[in-house]
Amino acid sequence: MATAARALGGYGYVSPATREQVLAAAVRLGYQPNDVARSMRAKTTRTIGFVGADIVNPFFANAMRGVSDVARQHGFDVFLTNSDERLDLEQQAVRALLVKQVDGIILAPTGVGDAPHLRSVVESGTPLVFIDRALADVPADSICIDNVAAAETAVGHLLALGHRRIALVAESPVTGDDARCPVTDDDEWAARSVPDGVSERPDDRVIVPSAARAHGYLRAHRAAGVPVDSRLARRVPRYSQEAARDEVRRMLALPDPPTALFASDNIMGLGTVVALREAGLTMPDDISLVTFDDLDWTAITTPPITVIRQPVYDMGAEAARRLLARVNGDTSPPARVELPVRLLVRGSTARPGPRSS
């Protein structure tokens, strides 16, 4: 009888007496509701998917936590998937999520490449929210920061302190032979960071944070009228702590090494710190450092490190809020949200010392 279902599901009309009976029988028989059947009928699973590069990276862990908390508040569960920055894994993950009928997807896209799988998500009607990076040609919400401005702030801080030889430690969005190409000029950067045949200005298409941060590095120099030495603005060929360490090591071995460094995220920053340690350099006397991402450890190194703080948890939470708004029928035009960042000046940055001339 449907009355039992009504009592258990808490909908429709049920007399109090009957409800009691039903509920009692339910516990007695160990009734467990089945959300799969409910989802099948309701065509909504109360489930969303999160696709990040790697949950072990504190950036994605914090973002996921924000997503998870907001989702739970609204009675949603979250699938976690790692893409390892690989387009094929990202596609696979998205497909799996769609097959599982998630109500929406939050995704940190893997980069420059084509995004037909993401466009098809949008076309299929499943809400999609980008986090950390936005894909210009996919009409979806995005929760990011202003990477160009943030990097400009960080490098501007170093320039203001009097540094003139500032190294850029940033991963390369390019793979293969071009990976270690220098980044010395806005136009060259624009040409390299945009897919072939696309002619928009960088600002309109900036998608990969590391590229945007490299752009900010250049902009800060130009604003200060300081020329960039191409040997200090090479891209780290692989996205790993070790590759960053090696690149910094090379730059430190130059006849005229940098007096300061700007690392584009926490992985690059960790590798940079390792290289400085190995070289026996002391911050900020021998060299200054600013890195992205305000992780716990940046406050306990000797000295504590000046960082750009991103509101990562909030980015995740906001992404989830926007996604759930879409799930609940919000059809306003896609929004590009940029959350504010802060420069936290700590002990690793100072004016270039006599020892670092």
Partner DNA sequence: TTGTATGCGTTATCAT
Partner DNA sequence: ATGATAACGCATACAA
* Rounded Cα distance, 5 and 18, in Å: 11
- Which sign, positive or negative, has the C-alpha torsion 19, 25, 30, 32? negative
Can residue 300 be called a binding residue for a copy of itself (CB under 8 A)? yes
Could you tell me which of 37, 3, 32, 33 has the C-alpha nearest to residue 20? 3
Among 299, 325, 343, 344, interactor with a copy of itself by CB under 8 A? 299
* Rounded Cα distance, 170 and 239, in Å: 9
6 touches, from DNA, a copy of itself, none (C-beta below 5 to 8 Å by class) = DNA
301 touches, from DNA, a copy of itself, none (C-beta below 5 to 8 Å by class) = a copy of itself
Nearer to DNA, 11 or 280 (CB): 11
Can residue 54 be called a binding residue for a copy of itself (CB under 8 A)? yes
Among 9, 31, 100, 328, interactor with a copy of itself by CB under 8 A? 100
In the complex, minimum distance from the CB of residue 2 to DNA, in angstroms, rounded to a whole number: 3
In the complex, minimum distance from the CB of residue 3 to a copy of itself, in angstroms, rounded to a whole number: 21
Residue 16 near residue 10 (C-beta atoms within 8 A): no
Among positions 206-245, residues that touch a copy of itself (CB under 8 A) are: 241
Can residue 285 be called a binding residue for a copy of itself (CB under 8 A)? no
Among positions 33-52, residues that touch a copy of itself (CB under 8 A) are: 33-37, 39-40, 45, 47, 50
In the complex, minimum distance from the CB of residue 297 to DNA, in angstroms, rounded to a whole number: 47
* Rounded Cα distance, 268 and 262, in Å: 9
In the sheet that holds 306-309, the strands lie side by side as: 235-236, 166-171, 260-263, 288-292, 306-309, 342-344
Interacting residues with DNA (CB under 7 A): 1-6, 8-9, 11-15, 17-18, 32-34, 37-38, 40-43
Could you tell me which of 262, 317, 310 has the C-alpha nearest to residue 290? 262
Residue 235 CB neighbours (<10 A): 25
Can residue 64 be called a binding residue for a copy of itself (CB under 8 A)? yes
Can residue 32 be called a binding residue for a copy of itself (CB under 8 A)? yes
Under rule CB under 8 A, how many of the chain's residues touch a copy of itself?
47
* Rounded Cα distance, 210 and 148, in Å: 9
Nearer to DNA, 6 or 65 (CB): 6
Q: What are the DSSP E strand ranges found in the chain?
A: 47-52, 77-82, 104-107, 128-131, 141-145, 166-171, 235-236, 260-263, 288-292, 306-309, 336-339, 342-344
Can residue 87 be called a binding residue for a copy of itself (CB under 8 A)? no
Residue 190: in which H helix or E strand, if any?
helix 186-193
In the complex, minimum distance from the CB of residue 247 to a copy of itself, in angstroms, rounded to a whole number: 17
Contacts to a copy of itself by CB under 8 A: 32-37, 39-40, 45, 47, 50, 54-56, 58, 61-62, 64-65, 68-69, 72, 77-82, 96-101, 124, 241, 270, 273-274, 277, 295-297, 299-302
